[in-house]
């Protein structure tokens, strides 16, 4: 099953008409960048915060587009600690 981040990244690439090699070039074009993008798309790994910000800058999208379409309390019905909500909405 595809992980949510991988699915969102794949949808953004389709929308922007980019392929994984384009993304790797935007991130620096080194071999490890290509492997990293491949791992993200397969759901094997997800980016850390630094790489998430690099990726969102390279693709000119908001970081929240990769993280979630909804705030956790909306989907779970459980209250979210104010600090957590701030962190999620301030990205």
Would the pLDDT of 6 be above 60?
yes
Among 89, 1, 8, 88, smallest CA distance to 47 is for: 8
Q: Say what the pTM is.
A: 0.68
Query: For residue range 14-25, what is the model confidence (pLDDT) as tens digits?
Result: 998 999 988 888
Burial of residue 65 (CB within 10 Å: 0-12, 13-18, 19+) is middle
Q: Which domains does the chain have, with CATH numbers?
A: 4-69+78-89 (1.10.260.40)
Query: For residue range 33-84, what is the model confidence (pLDDT) as tens digits?
Result: 888 999 999 999 999 999 999 899 988 888 888 886 544 444 445 554 444 4
């Amino acid at each position: 099953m595809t992980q949510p981040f991988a699915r969102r990244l794949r949808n953004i690439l389709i929308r922007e008409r980019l392929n994984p090699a384009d993304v790797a070039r935007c991130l620096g074009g080194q071999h490890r960048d290509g492997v990293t993008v491949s791992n993200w798309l397969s759901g094997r790994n997800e980016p850390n915060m630094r790489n998430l910000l690099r990726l969102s800058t390279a693709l000119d999208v908001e970081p929240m587009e990769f993280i979630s379409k909804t705030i956790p309390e909306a989907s779970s019905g459980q209250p979210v600690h104010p600090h957590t909500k701030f962190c999620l909405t301030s990205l």
